[in-house]
A and B are shown apart, each in its own frame.
Chain A
Amino acid sequence: MTRYVGVRLLQAIVVIFIVVLIVFFLLHRIPGGPARGILGQQATQQQIDDFNHAQGFDLPLPVQFGRYLGQMVTGDFGDSYVENQRVGDLVADRLPKTLVLTGLATLLALLVAVPLGVFQAVRRGRASDHVLSMVNFVLYSTPVFFLGFVLIIVFAQRIPLFSAQAPQGGTLVEILSDPRGLALPVITAAAGMIAVFSRYLRSSVIDNLHEDFVRTARAKGASEPYLLRKHVLRNSLTAIVSMIGYYIPVAFGGALVVEQMFNYPGMGLLFWNAAQRSDFPVLLGVVFVIAVATVLGSLLADIAQRLIDPRTRKVTP
């Protein structure tokens, strides 16, 4: 296990290194280079040269990359072009809010998808399974913002149950104390996950129901609910954990749209605003932080999965 964690940690470091490489490449694709981005179109060539020299952009690329890598690893993402703030501070303020949004959405999705998936697996091939599959696919196929729009129309305008505006508070406490505002963004973000998770769980449970050990238990006289509880769900748990690990980047992508739609003050909105104003340090900083969060998330998911499974948990001769 220790060895496994070591190897996975090393892999994660390599992955983050490659991420930095990609982001570095993108930085150098900025039209006119970072200098134009900061100094604007009116800057003279002299000003640009001076800026490039001061920032080290005239050094050989490998040297620049080394310096950039050092900055990224220490959390120094530079200054925003637009706002008079360090990118690191902006991200540090927004990241927890996005994590709250996606965390709550994931929780909600699991609460709905697990029973749904199990139900479908047990009723496989019957009318109820087909109908739910169909609903699932439609949910998956609906663009997040279209769904959000429909939800706002129904649950904020026709039946004014929730607010169409996300909580705008500056702190996490303020955000969490506005459930009416939080409800629609969370439900919208959870919808796609419900579709994917329940589909995944359905096939995992079907697979497990056909395992030999389930047949063995059935031959011992176990009832179907007992089999599900004791033998199938436990084994599907590992599948759920790895599924969440895989889903982290998709969830961030969804957050980008949901935050923009409901004006929720998270990383997605920060990113979108930065894109509108070509604020490259913020764009790349956010990309880097999200990539690191994803890598760490899947690392944790993998380790958790191995901890659940006795085959990989410990080795006793």
Chain B
Amino acid sequence: MAVDKFEMNKDELIIAGKPFKSRLLVGTGKYRDFKETRSAIDQSGSQIVTVAIRRTNIGQNENEQSLIDFLPTNEFTYLPNTAGCYSADDAIRTLHLARELLDGHNLVKLEVLGDPKTLYPNVVETLKAATVLIKDGFDVMVYTSDDPIIAKQLEDIGCCAIMPLASLIGSGMGILNPWNLEILIDTLSVPVIVDAGVGTASDAAIAMELGCDGVLMNTAIATAKDPIMMASAMKKAVEAGREAFLAGRMAKKLYSGSPSSPVSGLIK
């Protein structure tokens, strides 16, 4: 399939029926301040931003600015997450609060962790929480391991995007098991978005070249020496990887005996 410039502009990521031009989703944590958060997100071109739900500071400065002041909800699609939840009940409770906080907004990122040391997901609790949240009317984008069977079950119960780890949260170890990601991409119908583990631009490009529908990251951008420049690099990497995937790579062979220059007409 030939993809010209015009068609690339129409290449959209559809999540729960809503189209997005950017296939890069970003977190909003670990930045120095809200100004840097905003600048980096602008450079990333991301339209979807994840946020955490935490206790509000009571009795603090009335005029203290909040994340939402810098990232207005009419400019970005918020993806409240359940980071820090270790049980289905905690995750469900958190997202109900998020929906109330964001005036009925249904699109959420579910993650239920199994272990504070590795932050590996607990897929049993994740399945439980997803089942309840979908029944409660949420559009659930779900963080999970790269186990193809669990991923399929999460799709079958109605999750609108499956978000496997590439490596562990905050590790920056990159794409450790491209083969499992390929199985997920082959077997699932909903978008597959790599969530967690991306360390640098080439990792994001590899995920997209494999055929992932998007990449979600936070630490790789926020903890770069220059987060704003890294955000720009990630934008290009996701776009480059996507185009390379659509363009279809050449076949790999150990050697070809087929040079790019003509074999005839050589001077004698």
Are these two chains actual partners, yes or no? no
Please report A residues at the B interface, Cβ cutoff 8 Å.
Answer: none
